[in-house]
Amino acid sequence: MLNGKTLMITGGTGSFGTTFVDRVLRDYSPSSIIIFSRDEKKQFDMRNRLHTPILKFVIGDVRERDRVFQAMKGVDYVFHAAALKQVPTCEFFPYEAVMTNVIGTQNVLDASEENEVDKVIVLSTDKAVYPINAMGLSKAILEKLMLAKARTFSSKTVFCGVRYGNVMYSRGSVIPLFIEQIQNKMPVTITNPAMTRFLLPLPIAIELVIYALQKGENGDILVRKSPAATIEMIADVILDIFQSKYGKKIIGTREGEKLHETLVTQEDLLKAQSYDDFYRIKNLERLDYDKYFVEGTIDKFPKEGYTSENTKRLDFSGTKELILSLREVQDLLK
């Protein structure tokens, strides 16, 4: 589907964008890839690293509606990755999270519809499920905005999304933090040893996005099944891999953090199809706007959703194997 097409990646110089572009350039032959982002330095570095005329770099912010509409002319597929993603940042500056994750998303969706883009895939997170922090709340609205567009049925554009847990070694995630602390001869800081988190290497997250491009239907949210580990287990593995003698320090759970994360709610499971590696949440199958207000369709709820507490739990060797599979960790160990 990507061969000969024009792609646009919002936030294209971030963790997702850089890895996705590498994969697309390796395995497909798109006509062009528009990297839409506001980071001039990262665009410069990406341009110099890849040296290909296929990449078109556009400076802009998803908050700037006119700029988004202008940049999207002639685009076939949009991958919406631009977001404020760090929980502490969004907690202290929630309005900024709204401006980027909510208003910015609406701008991208509207521009996609106006320019008759074939398909839009929005990237969401486990923190959008039963959200308790500003980042999760804004991402939950992102999903609702996508679904609202899909429900109009008047657009030529297909709107769908993907939702996944912690992407390992992505910007602001815990693994690079632990490694940086070890390199600075500091103890690794643990919020709560019993806290669990999904663990997903970025290349696997990319596969989910490509599947969504190929198979995703209007209103679908595709959710990658992932193993999980406790924060203490992750810390112990990192300490072992890098032979650190500085140990761990428990600092306590921070504002806006959950003990366990949820990827699929009990309510989602009622309309989800389960496959070996992912769930497909079919949001539009039983939709009737008039009946929505007066009739119910649910007879029995599942006992629980799909969470980092009840998914496959990795032991020490399993966690170590997964972390050692990361290219960034391999490069540091050379």
| Active site residue ranges | 127
Q: How far is CA 118 from the centre of its chain?
A: 21
Decide: helix, strand or coil at residue 171.
Answer: coil
Structure letter (DSSP) for residue 58: E
| Cβ(316)–Cβ(237) below 8 Å | yes
* Termini Cα distance of the chain: 37
Q: Which two tokens mark 315? A: 């032991």
Cα 198 to Cα 271: distance, rounded to the nearest angstrom: 22
Q: Which two tokens mark 52? A: 């290909």
Cα 6 to Cα 15: distance, rounded to the nearest angstrom: 20
Closest CA to 21 of 38, 40, 41, 45: 45
| Cβ(228)–Cβ(198) below 8 Å | yes
Cα 51 to Cα 73: distance, rounded to the nearest angstrom: 24
Beta strands in the chain (DSSP E): 6-10, 32-37, 55-59, 77-80, 119-125, 158-164, 167-168, 188-190, 196-198, 200-201, 220-224, 228-230, 248-250, 262-264, 272-274, 278-282, 306-307
Q: Which residues pair with 136 in a beta bridge?
A: none
| Cβ(197)–Cβ(308) below 8 Å | yes
